[in-house]
Structures are given as structure tokens and as C-alpha cells.
Structure 1
Amino acid sequence: MSKTAFVILNWNCKDTIFDCLDSVITNTNESNIIVVDNGSVDGSMSVIESKYPMVKTIYNGYNRGFSGGVNPGIKLAMESNYKYVALLNPDATLGNKWLKTLEMVLEKKNDVGIATGQFYNPETKSLDGVGEGFSDWLLPYLYGEGDQTDQHSEPMYRSGGSAGGSLYRIELFKEIGMFDEYFFLYSEDTDVSLRAQHAGWRSYYHPDAKGTHAKNSSSRKVPGVVVEQSIRNRRVLVMKNIPGKMLLRHGYKFFFVEPLFAINQVRKGQPKAAIKGYIKAWMATPYALKARRQIMKSRKITSKEFEKRVITPGPPPIPFIKLLAKVMK
């Protein structure tokens, strides 16, 4: 039996998911793949069941978002006694050494709970990311996004891994819990990465695990939801996971720039989604604080160690924030 189950979330991804599945099959047997469907109406699931008869399928019946989508797949992998679970976006493809490389990382490094690789964006002809970064503005970002492949040729620890293409220990989910379904879309993987760090697990990047990712092909279908969720979830993420001392040192930058995201989206023609997201961010405070108490109560590393592991100094590579950082100096 393979050590790893693959979980791929489908939502009307007929244009991309078959290339994704074909690439996964170069890494593992078809029977180790779980496709979870979030209420697709494009006929993609009937094609999958016909073309890939050994693939396991789960039907959610409606769009449960990313967290609610992948959690049933992770649960099935757990019940099936897999050691690892790989999460992969349906618009991503893998090189044939991806799984072997990341399984090797988890076998050799007992402190690593999340292993990730290098994803190339064929549209921009540059990197989509090499794991997650977390700036001292308390904002997550895809580390290395827009860079060239040779700029990140060394393996290293990262603050986290994108759930669009990372390998997780099943043991990690047993310890910290599944993806938080309060995050319908966006920041859910950063939340898992930060909770994992609090629990003593680390994330690791290896450049030999290569793949491609056509960025945001699903989320482009629902731009208003993307704006609302990204604004709302940034605040929930910080309130849940950032220790008090770290908030005192860096929180002023986050709370200064946070409203500017909403203003920027109003300028781009998404006023309703931006305002809704900002209001929902404040409404989420009781939930976030309750979750925070549990995380801080059970953490296994100090605030100082957490900051050392997670923070990348400086602003995130977002143009208007980089400009703002220069003005603030």
C-alpha cells in the first residue's frame, strides 16, 4: 500500500482536472487518488468516473468552499490508514518526482509536518511559489512568486505550504484538527501552517518537487466572493494565530494597512464585496478569539520561537504595500 493519498477538490474544473489527474498518476497508483466534488454541473465527475475508474470519489452535493471540500477527503485518507495526504489544486500538474521527493523529506525530517515544492506558472513564465512566506506586516504571501526557478534552488524551512500543492502528515491533522471551515476560501492553508507551527511542526521546501499551476482558474469564476473572503479571513487569521507579544511589535502595520485593502477593492469596482468582507471581519471577532484561546493554550513552542520560525522581515511583495513601507520609513 502506498504511504500517500492524493486529495483533489473539483468545482466545475473540466478544463483542467484531467491533466492534473494524469500527472498524479505518474507519481502514484490511480487507486490512491480521492476526488472530492463541490457540486459541479459541468459533467466533469461523470468523465472522471468513466476515464479513471479506480479513483475514489466523494460528492459534497454543494459548494462547501476549500476547507469544507478537502476535509472529507482527508478524513477518508485518515480512515484508510495512509501516512501522508497530498493536497493538489485541479489546475495544477506534477512532475514525476514530486511525490518521491516530498515523501523523502517527511521520512528524513521528523519535525516537518508539511512539505512543499516548486510550482511554475506557465502563463507568467515565472514561479507561482516555493512555499509560504509570512511578513512582519502579519500578511501571508506565496514566497518566490514571480521569481525565476534558479532563484530558489536550495531546500529550506518555510513558514508554511500552500494547500494547492503540498504533502501533509496525517499525524499533523490528528493533532491540530482539520482545515477550519470558517475559512470558506483563502487563508485556510496559512491557518493550518500557523497552527502546525504552534504545535511544534515545521514546513519545508524542496526544489526537486516540481509542478505547474495555472493560478486561480477556479476563483476567477467568483471575483466578488474572493474579495469578501480575502478581506474577512486576513483578520480572522491574525486574531486566531498571532501571539500577543508579536501583535504588540507588528500589529500596528497590519491594522493600518488592512482597511486599505478594502479601499483598493472599492477603487477596482468591488465596493459591495469589500464592505461586506470588512464588516464580516469584525463580526468574526468572537469566533476568532475563542479559537485563539484554544491554540494558545495547547501550543508547544514559545512566542519568540514562533516568530523566529514564521516571520520574514519586511513588507510582503505586494506593490502598494512596498510603496507604503518606503513612505513610512
Structure 2
Amino acid sequence: MEKIAVVILNWNGVKLLEQFLPSVIQFSPEATVYVADNASTDESVAFIKNNFPTVKILQNKTNQGFAGGYNDALQHIDAEIYALVNSDIEVTENWLKPILETFDTESETAIIQPKILDFKRKNYFEYAGAGGGFIDQFGYPFCRGRIFDTLEKDNGQYNDKCEIFWASGACFFIRSAVYKELKGFDQDFFAHQEEIDLCWRAINKGYTIKYNSESKVYHVGGATLQQANPQKTYLNFRNSLLMLTKNLPQDSLLKVLIIRLVLDSIAGIRYIIGGQFTHCWAIIRAHFSFYRLFLRNYKKREKKQVETYFKTKSIVYGYYVKSGTVFADVI
């Protein structure tokens, strides 16, 4: 068994591989580097074979998104730790060392995220993960360094190691034994928030999620679906509701879902006021898809859900009513 496998999920990303794969190879001497190709129709596979012969290629037969793509590929990799890395990530020297040290010294830690900064503005945190992820009691995710669309400058305020609620799928380290115990990502999600769901299920099993700023990467972001894409809105709203259905304690599930559906409707109205009609329609589609998938996902619930400690009751209230724009303002 290998100690650590760096696995890059790729779909039609030959330009991204050309730009970012060299840094992964150069700065990952401790690891075997894999590219899991999600049925690309471009020249990705041929490009890797011709230019990076040390990289191992796993070819998925169909594109099943982030969740299914990794589930398909990882069953063929025998490693103690999986490092799941987006194709638009630039890694830095010695990025793996502090992660491996944490896994070696903390047996209860199952998942780790590094500091994630913006590739385009390298002194700012990046949207997908920033300085570690949390959610409020209604299932809205936020990060140290990123509250909704407001990003903080990196002034060393999150140079630490701490327990978090979720780790970003852009650069996501997990013990393979835990990944298998949890049966991987939920393929109903396809893409977006499946990593939060996996982390929540790990917490319900008694595991710990950590952030370690001693490891640092830069993320382009939006390489697959841009923030302004209505399909991203659809997946985020739907998957968040599915995640709540699966993981909230039974006594709070119905109340939270009702409040959340109302808050989503308010978000839809804001989109209409802003002239973003396709995003409002995306929320409506997300709700109907949630209703259709509700029973199937309710049956996925574990026998016991732990009482989860939320950093804030409502990030919507903290951001839009209290005008909090940084992590310290809203917790």
C-alpha cells in the first residue's frame, strides 16, 4: 500500500493539466500522482501520456461528476491517504509534509484541508475552502476567509491548525479507510457540497476534520462551473437540502427544512429583483428535485446523528442584517 496518492479528477481540462500538473509532480515526491479522467473528449489522456509518463492514468467510462468520478477512480488505488486535488490547483513546496505529520500524530483526524488562496490574487483567500469550512444551522456553508461572496485578504489571521466542520473538495485529504467506511461521496449530489456531506457523515461517526495552514495551495476556481452559472445555483441549493435531510438530528430536521425552504424562496425573490431570472428558476428546479429525492435520501440517514455545534445560528442574518463581512463578525 502506498502512503499517499495525489488524485486529480479531470474532465476536458488539458489546458489546466498543462499549466498545473508540473507543480504537482515537482512538489509531491512523497506521493504517487494519478489523473482520474472523467470520460474527457479532448486530448487530455494523450497529453498526459506524451508529456508526463510518470503519472498514472485512470479512465472512467462515463462522466459522473465529482462524486461519481472519484468513487469510480479511488476503488482502483491502494493508498493509505487520498489527496483529492482539482486540476486548477497550484501546489507549493513541501505542501504534503505537514498534512502527513498531522495524520501520523492524530489518529482521530480523518480529513484535512490546507490553506487555499486565490491563484489570481495570491494574497487573498479563495472562495472554495479558504481557511476552513463551517455551516450554520440552516445548512448554508461559509469559511474563515470567505463569507458568501466576500473574500478576506490573507494577513496571517488564519495561520493555525484547528478543527473545522468541512474541508474543501478543491484540495481534500482523507484516510482511505474512512473513505471506504463512509462509502465515498454520495453520487446523488453529482457535484457541489458532496464534500460537506462526506465530512458531516464523518463527524457523525466520531471523526475529526482539521485545517492546517502550514500546507498552502492556490486555486483558480470556477474552472468547471463559473459562480454565475445557474446550474451551479441549482446543484448548491438542491444538494444542501439533501445534506440536511441525511445528517440533521431527527428532532430538528422538519423545522430546519421548513425554515430553509422559506429562506431559499427569499433568495429566489432577490434574484428576480436583480434581474437574474435563470437563477430563480434554478432554485425552483432545485426544490422540485429535492422533493423527488427526499425519501431516497431520508433512508440514507444513520441510526444516530450527533448534535452538531454550529459556529453561528444564521449566516444569512449575520451577513445581510448585521452586515458582517468577515468570519469574526458572524460567529
Q: TM-score range by the shorter chain?
A: 0.7 to 0.9
After alignment, is 281-290 or 36-45 more displaced?
Answer: 36-45
CA distance in 2, matches of 1:103, 1:249: 41
Distance 1:17 1:171, change over 3 A: same
Do the aligned residues in 2 keep the contact of 1:160 with 1:203 (CA within 8 Å)? yes
1:107 to 104, 107, 110: 104
Find out whether 1:90 has 2:87 as its counterpart: yes
- Cα deviation for residue 246 of structure 1 reads 4.3
1:9 paired residue number: 9
Do the aligned residues in 1 keep the contact of 2:30 with 2:96 (CA within 8 Å)? no
* Paired residue total: 311
2:287 maps to amino acid: Y
1:182 maps to amino acid: D
After alignment, is 55-64 or 220-229 more displaced?
Answer: 220-229
Do the aligned residues in 2 keep the contact of 1:101 with 1:206 (CA within 8 Å)? yes
Distance 1:122 1:315, change over 3 A: farther
Find out whether 1:167 has 2:176 as its counterpart: no
Q: Which secondary structure does the structure 2 equivalent of 1:86 belong to?
A: strand
CA distance in 2, matches of 1:249, 1:273: 23
1:135 paired residue number: 136
- What TM-score results when the alignment is normalised by the length of structure 2? 0.86
Do the aligned residues in 1 keep the contact of 2:38 with 2:61 (CA within 8 Å)? yes
Do the aligned residues in 2 keep the contact of 1:97 with 1:208 (CA within 8 Å)? no
Aligned-pair identity in percent equals: 23
CA distance in 2, matches of 1:31, 1:202: 23
CA distance in 2, matches of 1:228, 1:195: 23
CA distance in 2, matches of 1:144, 1:245: 32
Distance 1:221 1:46, change over 3 A: farther
2:306 paired residue number: 303
Unaligned runs of 5+ in 1: none
- Cα deviation for residue 104 of structure 1 reads 0.8
CA distance in 2, matches of 1:165, 1:31: 15
1:148 paired residue number: 153
Q: Which secondary structure does the structure 2 equivalent of 1:133 belong to?
A: strand
Q: Which has the higher helix share?
A: 1
Unaligned runs of 5+ in 2: 324-331
- Cα deviation for residue 290 of structure 1 reads 0.7
Q: Which secondary structure does the structure 2 equivalent of 1:186 belong to?
A: coil
- Cα deviation for residue 245 of structure 1 reads 3.6
Cα RMSD (Å) of the superposition? 2.4
